[in-house]
Structure 1
Amino acid sequence: MTNRRNFLAGLAAASLTPASGWSSVGAPVYLAAGLFPDGSYRLSGLDNAGAILFSIPLPARGHAAAAHPSKAQAVAFARRPGTFAIVIDCKSGHVIKRLTAPKGRHFYGHGTFSADGTRFFTTENKYEAAEGVIGVWDANSFVRLGEFASGGVGPHDIRLMPGSDMLVIANGGIETHPDTGRTKLNLPTMLPNLAYVDLSGSVLAKVELTGAQHKNSIRHLAVRSDGLVGFAMQWQGNQIKHPPLLGLHKLGEIPRLLSAPERQQSDLQGYAGSIAFSTDGHSVAITCPRGNTLHRFDVTSGALMNAYTLEDVCGLGAGAEGLVFTTGTGAFGSLNAAHAKISSRQDCQWDNHLIPIQTTD
């Protein structure tokens, strides 16, 4: 009887304890920024079918976001060259903290948490010196702890490698300065790379795109569970008519650059927006909002599997059926071998990225 009494008391106590994990806000699967009809920019949590579970105002246009691994908490970033990031309690909708890039820095729109959720890492431009920087923040107080070099110029995306204390950074290679907006200042000499660093900032490996590919800016990343890194690129040159815009890399190996046949590759117009591996890891895809197209490739052979026509498609992520996408027309859908299926359409314009929530709770 005593055990039963204690058990019931424990249940009662648990029911009074606020849930802090992602289940407390309906267990969203994705985060997405968007522009809504009232003119507001918002960060939304979406379920597997693209239904909006919560929607929280942002002070300006968002780009990407990072989800805390256990708390119902997200960091939403301004579009480059923004200097703010907003830490949001997704249950209450309250802003917990506003992160401001230090003087002489701006954010690039991406960040990631450590696996245990205690630290947060931001990609930044130290623009007077034209150097890439990774900001390090305490993920409880969001006090800045320090920074380290990104291993290149123009660090855009950053991901935590699975099962390790190692980060992979997409150094796009492009020098910019806020005084000149989004103007690219070093195209003749740019040198993009993937940098693998530990959480203290020590560079463990670096993979550069050299020669004819030195103007292929590495922008966005996806990481498969076995550590295979996919990277999406944006071409800054003119000497290659239809350059490859998708790369794959595994530590200790040389990168593989994948292209579609020329007719389909030309549809990309030298620009890949987002990248994701399918849930089973057998395929990888990139989006191109400029060309209204999405390409899916077989990882093993590197061959194009499908080319889908989707108006203003950009957001991309792993989904229950393999891959899901969002568009600037408010659509959310999934892919199969034959076609793209739209499962919902919201009255908004989804922005560049669809961020999966990978929880540990």
Structure 2
Amino acid sequence: MATRRGFMASLAAALTVPRLTWADAGSPSFLAAAKRGDDFVLYGLDLRGEAVFSVPLPARGHAAAAHPARPEAVAFARRPGSFALVIDCARGLVAHRLTPPGGRQFNGHGAFSEDGAVLYTSEVVAETSEGRLGIWDAAGNYARIAELPSGGIGPHELRRLPDGVLVVANGGIRTDPGDRRKLNIDRMRPSLTYLDPQGRLLEQVDLGAEHHQLSIRHLAPGPDGEVAFAMQWEGDPAEPVPLLGLHRRGEAARLCPPDESEAWAMQGYAGSIAWSGDRIALTSPPGGVVHLFDGRGGFLRAIRRTDASGVAALPDGLMITDGTGAVSRIGAEGLRPLQRFDLAWDNHLVALG
């Protein structure tokens, strides 16, 4: 029979066990999903592009969310998804498997609250593509607490801003829950939506009738409260349109075209976006190109890279992953390959911190 003295000794021992940090997982700087042969894997990469850990996934991954303190990552299935795995990156174990409620589907992205107590997940009502944000108790055992409207149809990426506000990229596309056919291209309505942590709508911006077929997909908060967003064009493929937008709360959104000579290079598809210092980068896997802009949305240059996929900020540049397995750096000297793996990187490279 357990004694009180024994219980207190066990409790004291438990309290003295040091909490694991990201250093215990090899101090990764980035998370990225990949396909390796017939397998799917989540990797942690350092600033040199070297792998510091890898954890198998049950199916194709998309993006991930890193806990701000614990060495935990939530790996999201490619949309529409039925799983999100909470991975103990220090031990290489799946700590929790999150499943959306009946009639809901994960949509590829999520974000933690600043203190790490809550996980927000991008979701849709399967039959209608109405947007939802799932709320999960990350401080405990990741039980689902509630859900909130996302403010639109087909939300994809969501990000937490420094003031705690959530910004959501509502893509505006209704899709078939089974085969992902797009059902409302002629009447889609994308929006950039700002919510407080309790889900109250603070502001919503659309792109107007002329650009209602520009699906807002991915987000990159800037250094001074502005948000850059990447889009995918669902209209006439012969019509070149800007795929980068900038928005500051209280103002209208601004679309930022590339040079005329680069107007078709991305083939209407911006895959990932990152903001590093005074540079913004968009990647296009089908176009095989990275477009660089300044912080005001002025086009700088294009860099050709086959199947350019993930992009994230470095202290002095940008890190790029691609479908050929390469990890490269973009700096003042241009693009420089750092590492190459025998795999294909998926869409995103997620920076920790």
Q: Do the two structures share a fold, i.e. TM-score over 0.5?
A: yes
Instruction: Give the conservation status (yes or no) of the 8 Å contact 1:48–1:320.
Output: no
**CA apart distance, 1:120:** 0.4
- Normalised to the residue count of structure 1, the TM-score between the two structures is 0.91
Please report how far the alpha carbon of residue 348 of structure 1 lies from its aligned counterpart in structure 2 after TM superposition: 1.2
Among 288, 292, 298, the alignment partner of 1:296 is 292
Matches within 5 A, 1:214-225: 214-225=212-223
Partner SS, residue 153 of structure 2: coil
CA deviation profile, 1:70-117 (whole Å, cap 9, x unmatched): 000000000011111000000111111110111111011000000000
Q: Does residue 90 in structure 1 map to residue 89 in structure 2?
A: yes
What is the CA-CA distance between 1:338 and the residue it aligns to?
Answer: 4.6
Q: CA deviation at 1:239?
A: 7.4
5+ residue gaps, structure 2, are 1-12
Counterparts of 2:19 and 2:339, CA distance in 1: 28
SS in 2 for 1:188: helix
Q: Distance in 2 between matches of 1:209 and 1:144?
A: 33
Please name the residue that 1:6 is paired with: none
Aligned counterpart, 1:307: 302
Partner of 1:253, secondary structure, is coil
Give, as a single letter, the amino acid of the residue that structure 2 aligns with 1:159.
R
* 8 Å Cα contact 1:316-1:326 kept in structure 2: yes
Amino acid at match of 1:225: P
Paired position in structure 2 for 1:184: 182
From the superposition, tell whether residues 47 and 239 of structure 1 become closer, same or farther in structure 2 (CA, over 3 Å): closer
Deviation digits for residues 143-191 of structure 1 (CA, Å, limit 9, x no counterpart): 00010100000000000011x1210000000001323x12111111100
Alignment of 1:105-184 (within 5 A): 105-139=104-138, 140-162=140-162, 164-179=163-178, 181-184=179-182
Give the structure 2 partner of residue 7 of structure 1. Answer: none
Q: Distance in 2 between matches of 1:332 and 1:318?
A: 13
**1:204 partner amino acid:** L
- Name the amino acid aligned to 1:310: R
Looking at structure 1, the residues matched to 97 and 108 of structure 2 have their Cα atoms a distance apart, in angstroms, of 14
Q: Which residue of 1 aligns with 2:3?
A: none
Decide whether the 8 Å contact of 2:128 with 2:174 is kept in 1: no
Pick from 278, 281, 284: which aligns with 1:285? 281
SS in 1 for 2:159: strand
Partner of 1:251: 249
Separation in 2 of the partners of 1:34 and 1:240?
32
CA contact (8 A) 1:306 1:337 kept: no
Q: Which residue of 1 aligns with 2:6?
A: none
Task: State the Cα distance separating 1:225 from its structure 2 match.
Answer: 3.1
3-state SS of 1:151 partner: strand
Show the counterpart of 1:201.
199
1:54 and 1:208 mapped to 2: Cα distance?
A: 40
Contact 2:129–2:173 at 8 Å: present in 1 too? no
CA distance in 2, matches of 1:123, 1:349: 25
Q: How far apart, CA to CA, are the structure 1 residues paired with 2:254 and 2:46?
A: 34
The equivalent of 2:69 in structure 1 is: 70
Equivalent residues of 1:321, 1:334 under 8 A apart: no
Question: How many angstroms apart in 2 are the aligned matches of 1:330 and 1:116?
Answer: 34
Q: Which amino acid aligns with 2:210?
A: A
1:28-67 deviations in Å (ceiling 9; x for gaps): 0000000113x21000100001100000000000000000
CA distance in structure 1 between the partners assigned to 2:20 and 2:237 by the alignment:
53
Q: Which amino acid in the other structure matches residue 355 of structure 1? A: V
Distance in 2, Cα, partners of 1:101 & 1:239: 35
The letter for the 1-side match of 2:84 is A
Q: What one-letter code is carried by the residue in structure 2 that aligns with 1:30? A: F
Structure 1 gaps, min length 5: 1-12
Amino acid at match of 1:332: V
Would the aligned equivalents of 2:25 and 2:91 in 1 still touch at CA under 8 Å? no
C-alpha contact 1:46 1:53 (8 A) present in aligned 2:
yes
What is the CA–CA distance in structure 2 between the aligned matches of 1:305 and 1:137, rounded to whole Å? 41
Partners of 2:201 and 2:217 in 1: CA distance: 19
Aligned partner of 1:3 in structure 2 is none
Three-state SS of the structure 1 residue aligned to 2:32 is strand
Asked if residue 325 in structure 1 is aligned to residue 320 in structure 2, the reply is yes
TM-score by length of 2: 0.93
Look up the SS of the partner of 2:152 in the other structure.
coil
Whole-Å Cα distance in 1 between the matches of residues 308 and 323 of structure 2? 6
Structure 2 residue 340 is matched with structure 1 residue 341 = no
Distance in 1 between the 2:150 and 2:200 partners?
9
Distance in 2, Cα, partners of 1:122 & 1:40: 25
Could you tell me which of 333, 346, 350 is aligned with 1:355?
350
CA shift at 1:240, angstroms?
6.5
Task: Tell me whether 1:49 sits opposite 2:44 in the alignment.
Answer: no
Q: Which runs of 4+ in 1 moved over 6 A?
A: none
Matches of 1:17 and 1:142, distance apart in 2: 22
SS at match of 2:187: coil
In structure 2, do the counterparts of structure 1 residues 148 and 240 end up closer, same or farther at CA, with 3 Å as the change threshold?
A: farther
Q: For residues 187-236 of structure 1, what are the alpha-carbon distances to aligned partners after superposition, in whole Å with 9 as ceiling and x for unaligned?
A: 11100000000111110000011211000000001112322101000000
The corresponding residue for 1:316 is 311
Separation of aligned partners in 2, 1:75 and 1:356: 13
Structure 1 vs Structure 2 CA RMSD: 1.5
Amino acid aligned to 2:169: A
CA distance in 2, matches of 1:78, 1:275: 19
1:35 aligns to 2:31 (yes or no): no
Query: Which SS does the other structure have where 1:263 is aligned?
Result: helix
